[in-house]
Amino acid sequence: MAGFFKRLSLVPTGLRYKLTIAFVLMSIIPIAIGVYLACNYIFWNPQYPWDVSDVSILLGVTIVIALLGFKISKDIISPIIDMALKAKVIANGDLSQRIDIKSEDEIGELGSTLNVLTRRIRENMDELRSYGERTKEINVEISKKVLVLSGLLQIGNLISQGSPLDQILDLIVEKISQLEDESALSLLLVEDKDMLTTKISYNLKKEELKGLKLKVGTGFLGRSVSEGRLLVFDRRSKLTKESGEFLDSFELRNCVIAPVTIHGQGIGVLCFGNAVADYEFKNDDVELLKLFTRQIAIAVENEMLTKKAKDLSIKDELTGLYNEKYITGRLDEEIKRAILYQRPCSFAILNIDDFTLFHQGKGELVAEETIKKIGKIIEANVTEVDRVGRLSGDEFAVVMPEKNKKQANALAEVLRQRVEAFGIAAGGSYPRNVVTVSGGVSENPLDGATSDQLIKKARASLEGAKSRGKNVVVS
């Protein structure tokens, strides 16, 4: 009993008051009435006749008081039970539950407190969920950026390796397209002097845009190249009539126009956009596009420098002989000198017989080695004034100053014999046991007064040699 009252003293005042009343009504008063009945009607005066009506009233009052105590106890316990059940449901994760407040006592305050805690937990959960979704979006963005940045490294490797420009541009377009879903882009470069031509495109809806050609300095895109200005059009932009017409023509709502420049000179423009409503380009994406345009510029400049280097080069990369450009120029010089001093000048073309069959049977590496060997054989068997070059593929040329057609034909025949005697094994479906060559010879001024004419005549003679069964020289 002492322990019960001790626990009761810890209950808040209002609830303690109710519990005290309930305890009195359910136990103390009924016990007191029972003692009263026992003392007055049973123990003290056993002979006293019972007044049934008095006893009935007392018993009725006792029952009513006890029931009232039970009701008060129920009113206290029921909300606690309901609260406990709902608290259990809430603890299991159902934060939509709400405890009904039926009184303003401590139980009501406890219910209000639980409702506040539930609401705050729900708000925190919603906030965490929002953070989770945002984190997912950030992770997706990070993944995209990582892919794009790795793409930048790939592009840099291709550029450093001297890969073809088209291969580099294809990779750049692939990586740019990963920036945004449902994006479209077009890369236009200056070609043919002042003409801006579509070099590569992606996801453009209109077929005519894929082959678009514009004059630099005219029209919306043409001026953007000459002016070299970065333009961004999205939901923040106020469109002019011209910019609106441009977006409509490309069926875009948002677009970044990034110029491609080399040393301050515009050489192209990159258009990247989409048709998403209420869209805004991120600053990071715009900066990445600027990085891509720089790589495009580097790739284009490398291509230009490589081409210029090839134009300046006079040697063939595979054989080390003179290249076609040098041979043609040297032949022109020798023809002019021959005309001036009225001296002969001849030209010969030697071609490997059935080289396609040999290449198919032996493979690329053996075919290249064979070309190098034959080039060395020819170079080793001409005079110091003669010039040997590789025109293309399996074709060689010899410029022979101071030699007439008879002398040139004799030298070409020696070269043919030396190649055959070297004995490069053929095998497979090749029609001969060893690799052979055929030749055609021409002379200035009998067969022409320019390099083009002599080359044309020598090539015609070479075709005659092929038609005669090959492994011969025709002049």
Closest to 219 (Cα-Cα) out of 192, 244, 246, 198: 246
User: What span, in angstroms and rounded, lies between the C-alpha atoms of 268 and 137?
Assistant: 34
CB 353 within 8 A of CB 426: no
Domain boundaries, the chain: 1-161, 162-309, 324-474
The token pair that represents 358 in the structure block: 């040999």
Alpha-helix residue ranges (DSSP H) falling in 254-323: 283-312
CATH number of 324-474: 3.30.70.270
The token pair that represents 145 in the structure block: 């950026």
Environment class of 334 (CB within 10 Å of its CB; exposed 0-12, middle 13-18, buried 19+): buried
- Give the strand pairing for 254-262 and 387-392: unpaired
The token pair that represents 171 in the structure block: 């990779």
Question: 162-309 and 324-474 share one CATH topology?
Answer: no
CATH number of 162-309: 3.30.450.40
Residue 398, number of CB atoms within 10 A of its CB: 26
Q: Helix 283-312 and helix 165-177: axis angle, to 10°? A: 180
72-76, Cβ contacts within 8 angstroms, sequence gap of 24 or more: 72/18, 72/21, 72/22, 72/25, 73/19, 73/22, 73/26, 75/18, 76/15, 76/18, 76/19, 76/22, 76/107
**What predicted TM-score, i.e. pTM, was given to this entire model?**
0.52
CB 433 within 8 A of CB 425: yes
pLDDT by position in tens, the chain (length 475): 455 444 444 444 455 555 566 555 566 666 666 666 666 655 545 555 555 566 666 667 767 766 776 676 666 666 666 666 676 776 776 767 676 666 666 666 777 777 777 778 777 777 877 877 877 777 777 776 777 677 778 888 888 888 888 899 888 888 888 777 788 999 999 887 788 888 888 888 887 788 888 888 888 888 888 888 899 999 998 888 888 888 898 889 999 999 999 988 889 999 999 999 999 998 888 888 898 899 999 999 988 888 887 777 889 989 999 999 999 999 999 999 999 999 999 999 999 999 999 999 999 999 999 999 999 999 999 999 999 999 988 999 999 999 999 999 999 999 999 999 999 998 878 899 999 999 999 999 899 999 999 999 999 999 999 999 999 999 8
Across 403-437, b (16+ Cβ under 10 Å) vs e yields bebeebbebbbebbeebbeeebebeeebeeeebbb
Show the beta-strand stretches assigned E in 109-227: 184-191, 195-202, 213-215
- Give the strand pairing for 473-474 and 437-444: parallel
Q: Which strand (E) or helix (H) includes residue 392?
A: strand 387-392
